[in-house]
Amino acid sequence: MDSFNSPTTKPLYRGTQIVWYILGVVEVLLVFRFILKLLGANPVAGFSSFIYGATYVFAAPFLGVFRVSYAAGSIFEWTTLLAMLVYWIVAMGVIKMLVMGKTVSTPEAAVKMNKQS
């Protein structure tokens, strides 16, 4: 069976697109959080308050891992960078798992197995 015309190819492709999209949204929100804190944005201003609230759930597991660096009203939040890295690694793992579900032909599997050994 041709792996490009497999009935599993399109759903797997859509699945990877969804993972990349979700990661992109989370990463952009976390970048906004990082930049707003770095630039010393007013936390009660509408936009910064929204960003801090929306990203708290993503940043919370990492808060306290590193010390926060303060300088003249700016906050360098290492934990936000850690969160971004961890979410990227998790997304890559999910995508790898999705791709493992792709149908492969016997010759294609043999070639890939030979490369792994």
pLDDT exceeds cutoff 50 at 1: no
Reported as a single tens digit per residue, the pLDDT across 20-36 is 999 999 999 999 999 99
Q: What is the pTM of this model?
A: 0.80
Q: Does position 110 have pLDDT exceeding 90, yes or no? A: no
Q: What is the pLDDT of residue 6?
A: 67
Mean pLDDT of 6-30: 90
pLDDT surpasses 80 at 51: yes
pLDDT, tens digit (0-9, with 9 covering 90-100), for 58-104: 999 999 899 888 888 899 999 999 999 999 999 999 999 988 877 77
Q: What's the rounded Cα separation, in Å, for the pair 61 and 64?
A: 8
pLDDT at 54 over 70: yes
- The tokens describing 54, both together, are 């929306």
Say if strands 69-71 and 74-76 run parallel, antiparallel, or are unpaired.
antiparallel
